[in-house]
């Protein structure tokens, strides 16, 4: 199976401190990987490197079998990113936001795809409403629709469940499971294991910028992973 | 094709958002008018020659109001990851710069026209002062300002001081543009006629070309690092 992500000794420094040190990671086509760890473990930094928003200070990163910082335009066209922020403009309507992102990604037949994305996100009826009137859950659904609009091969998600109510979490988890089933690769940074364990293949545990464990997602249940993380955070692992 | 599509999308999005928010334009107009009013009170137009006061008054209003507007615009871009949204896309960074530059230029020109209308009223300016050359200096000075300002507004948002950092970065770099714009505007309004105006115009055009080209080339790097 083709590897969509190959990271070797990936490191990133901010000033004098290293946020990520010598991280090795491989993600295969159609595979879903959960990044877990305490706050400050390096999950968001790793995702920002995979999203090519930041450059690694050291190490090698290949995306879709190409050096990440050589064929950036081609690579970015195959990436979808849902970050902490929604990347949406509050003053615009849902449709206007998606049409803007369609233009940035040069999506062909954008009007039809925007309508389809809004319908898939369950926002067809609110397409003409400004995003400022949306709830957190609706914004997150729209943010996911934005990230999927250009049909990316690799979807990167940074804490996608944070701030969502249980119903919205279930909807999002089901949607992500469906995207994986379509053959998309996913890398999800999260604290909420219960939503990702049923469909993730592997869990990568990060602590203080380093990978401390890579295991099959189903090797533990949500409670087991929580205990494992607590042990890592307390330095008992 | 995709270059123009992206530039147009960025421009259209900024204009649509501003049309609804009216934050950038309000900042520019309010600060600009406040500056002109201050000059009207400080330099009574009935006792001071207009050509001595108006060029300095207008350019002080335009520059500082413009900086406020650029800061607002860049701050809005930083909220909710607006800038990151551009970064994760494969869109040409030069096209993003062009879209941003055009939107900032439109905000500035609209704000400048409103401020100028009041300046015309309060300083009793007529067709002798408001010549095509006068407007050429305003347009070229504004273009140079937004060409540099668009880049530095993005840079300042990455620093801890944000809005405070923008004038510190911008004003030293802008000094040749400011000098040429103020001197040229003063010459245009001078009762002795616009002698020597052409050289200031040439300086402005040259700096506009240099700054716009540099902005176009470095904007992507500035956004990413």
pLDDT in tens, A171-209: 999 999 999 999 999 999 999 889 999 999 999 999 999
Q: What is the pLDDT of residues A55-71, one digit of tens each?
A: 999 999 999 999 998 88
Say how many CB pairs under 8 Å bridge A and B: 78
Half-sphere exposure of A27 (CA within 13 A, CB side): 30
Q: Residue A87 has what pLDDT?
A: 93
Task: Note if the pTM is more than 0.80.
Answer: yes
Sort strands A79-82 and A210-216 into parallel, antiparallel or unpaired: unpaired
Predicted confidence band of residue B185 (pLDDT cuts 50, 70, 90): very high
B9 touches chain A (CB under 8 A): yes
Distance (Å) from the alpha carbon of B90 to chain A's nearest alpha carbon: 4
Measured over the CA atoms of residue A176, residue A181, residue A184 and residue A186, the dihedral's sign is positive
DSSP B139-178: HHHHHHHHHHHHHHHHHHTTSSSGGGHHHHHHHHHHHHHH
B6/A106 CB distance under 8 A: yes
Q: Residue A237 has what pLDDT?
A: 61
A104/B20 CB distance under 8 A: no
Predicted confidence band of residue A108 (pLDDT cuts 50, 70, 90): very high
Encoding tokens for residue A152?
A: 């990316």
Query: A156 to chain B: nearest residue by CA?
Result: B88
CA distance B177 to B200: 9
Mean per-residue pLDDT for B162-191? 91
The answer to whether A117 and A147 are in contact (CB under 8 A) is: no
C-beta neighbour count of A145 within 10 angstroms? 25
Give A-chain residues touching B81 at CB under 8 angstroms. 83-87
Mean per-residue pLDDT for B213-219? 95
Q: How much is the ipTM here?
A: 0.88
| 3-state secondary structure (DSSP) of residue A199 | coil
Beta bridge partners of A82: A157
Q: Residue A80 has what pLDDT?
A: 96
pLDDT at A234 over 90: no
Mean per-residue pLDDT for B121-139? 89
Q: Residue A56 has what pLDDT?
A: 94
Query: A48 to chain B: nearest residue by CA?
Result: B88
Measured over the CA atoms of residue B81, residue B87, residue B89 and residue B91, the dihedral's sign is positive
How much of chain B exceeds pLDDT 90, in percent?
72
Q: Residue B26 has what pLDDT?
A: 96
Query: A78 to chain B: nearest residue by CA?
Result: B90
| 3-state secondary structure (DSSP) of residue A16 | coil
pLDDT at B84 over 90: no
B89/A91 CB distance under 8 A: no
Half-sphere exposure of B217 (CA within 13 A, CB side): 6
pLDDT at A99 over 60: yes
Query: A79 to chain B: nearest residue by CA?
Result: B88
Residue B163 or residue A73, greater confidence: A73
Q: Residue B1 has what pLDDT?
A: 57
pLDDT at B46 over 90: no
| 3-state secondary structure (DSSP) of residue A79 | strand
Q: Residue B129 has what pLDDT?
A: 82
Q: Residue B225 has what pLDDT?
A: 66
Q: Residue B190 has what pLDDT?
A: 84
Q: What is the pLDDT of residues A3-17, one digit of tens each?
A: 999 999 999 999 889
Q: Residue A4 has what pLDDT?
A: 96
Among candidate residues B200, B153, B215, B210, the one with its CA nearest the CA of residue B55: B200
A53/B87 CB distance under 8 A: yes
Encoding tokens for residue B173?
A: 């770099």
B6 touches chain A (CB under 8 A): yes
Per the prediction, chain B carries an average pLDDT of 92
Q: What is the pLDDT of residues A112-167, one digit of tens each?
A: 999 999 999 999 999 999 999 999 999 999 999 999 999 999 999 999 999 899 99
pLDDT at A79 over 80: yes
Encoding tokens for residue A184?
A: 């998309």
A77/B84 CB distance under 8 A: no
Encoding tokens for residue A173?
A: 């988890």
The answer to whether B71 and B164 are in contact (CB under 8 A) is: no
């Amino acid at each position: 199976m083709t590897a969509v992500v190959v990271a070797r000794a990936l490191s990133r420094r901010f000033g004098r401190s290293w946020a990520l040190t010598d991280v090795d990671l491989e993600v295969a086509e159609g595979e879903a990987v959960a990044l877990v760890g305490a706050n400050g473990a390096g999950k968001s930094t790793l995702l920002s490197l995979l999203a090519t928003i930041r450059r690694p200070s050291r190490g090698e990163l290949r995306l879709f079998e190409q050096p990440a910082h050589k064929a950036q335009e081609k690579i970015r066209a195959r990436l979808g990113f849902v970050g902490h922020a929604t990347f949406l403009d509050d003053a615009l309507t849902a449709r206007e936001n998606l049409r803007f992102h369609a233009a940035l990604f040069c999506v062909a037949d954008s009007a039809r795809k925007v309508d389809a994305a809004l319908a898939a996100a369950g926002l067809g009826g609110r397409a003409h409403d400004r995003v400022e009137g949306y709830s957190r859950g609706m914004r997150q659904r729209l943010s996911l629709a934005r990230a999927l609009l250009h049909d990316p091969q690799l979807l990167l998600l940074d804490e996608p469940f944070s701030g969502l109510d249980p119903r919205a979490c279930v909807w999002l988890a089901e949607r992500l499971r469906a995207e994986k089933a379509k053959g998309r690769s996913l890398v999800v940074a999260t604290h909420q294991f219960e939503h990702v364990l049923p469909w993730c293949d592997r869990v990568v545990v990060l602590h203080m910028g380093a990978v401390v464990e890579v295991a099959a997602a189903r090797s533990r249940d949500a409670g087991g992973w929580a205990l494992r993380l607590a042990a890592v955070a307390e330095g008992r692992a | 094709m995709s270059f123009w599509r992206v530039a147009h999308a960025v421009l259209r999005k900024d204009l649509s958002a501003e049309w609804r928010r009216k934050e950038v334009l309000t900042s520019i107009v309010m600060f600009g008018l406040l500056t002109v009013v201050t000059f009207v009170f400080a330099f009574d137009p009935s006792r001071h020659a207009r050509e001595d006061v108006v060029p300095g008054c207008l350019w002080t209003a335009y520059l500082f109001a413009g900086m406020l507007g650029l800061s607002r615009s860049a701050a809005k871009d930083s909220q909710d990851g607006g800038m990151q949204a551009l970064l994760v896309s494969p869109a040409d960074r030069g096209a993003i710069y062009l879209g941003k530059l055009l939107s900032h230029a439109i905000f500035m020109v609209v704000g400048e026209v409103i401020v100028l209308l009041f300046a015309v009223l309060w300083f009793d300016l007529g067709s002798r002062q408001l010549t095509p050359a006068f407007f050429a200096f305003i347009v070229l000075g504004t273009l140079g300002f937004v060409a540099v300002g668009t880049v530095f507004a993005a840079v300042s948002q990455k620093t801890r001081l944000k809005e405070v950092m923008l004038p510190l970065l911008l004003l030293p770099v802008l000094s040749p543009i400011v000098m040429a714009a103020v001197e040229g505007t003063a010459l245009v309004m001078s009762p002795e006629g616009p002698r020597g105006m052409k050289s200031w115009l040439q300086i402005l055009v040259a700096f506009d070309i240099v700054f716009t080209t540099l902005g176009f080339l470095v904007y992507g790097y500035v956004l990413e690092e």
